[in-house]
Amino acid sequence: MNYLARLAKEEPERFDMEWERRLTSWLELIQRDAGLLKNRNDVPVPPVFEVIEEALMVLERCGAAVYAKYAKDTFDLLSNECCKQFAVRVDPRLFRLTNHSRFEAQ
């Protein structure tokens, strides 16, 4: 995390690229682990919503300016993916961007 904090202060362009890489990695983790209680080795898998907390904690440690710039988009992106992946496993009708028009018609 010191690496990211240093990048944020000294090389903001590289921080953007590194943050994008981490977001992609977290999205893949969410997609892989959503709905799992244990992995193949019977080890408990933490809830995917904890990824959001981890990401925001990393941003917070990078400083107030970085947190202010990236926190909202990070939260929106990761929480959206968590909800989407959860719904896919429970009932896809829970999370459909096209549901809005159905409710307007009623």
| Domain range enclosing 75 | 2-105
Chain-wide mean pLDDT for the chain?
86
Q: What is the DSSP letter of 62?
A: T
- Tally the domains of the chain: 1
Q: What is residue 106's predicted lDDT score, i.e. its pLDDT?
A: 47
What SS3 class is residue 36? coil
For the chain, first and last CA: distance in Å?
A: 50
CA distances from 63 to 10, 26, 84 (A): 13, 21, 30
Q: What is residue 96's predicted lDDT score, i.e. its pLDDT?
A: 66
Q: What is residue 41's predicted lDDT score, i.e. its pLDDT?
A: 84
Token pair for 72: 């909202």
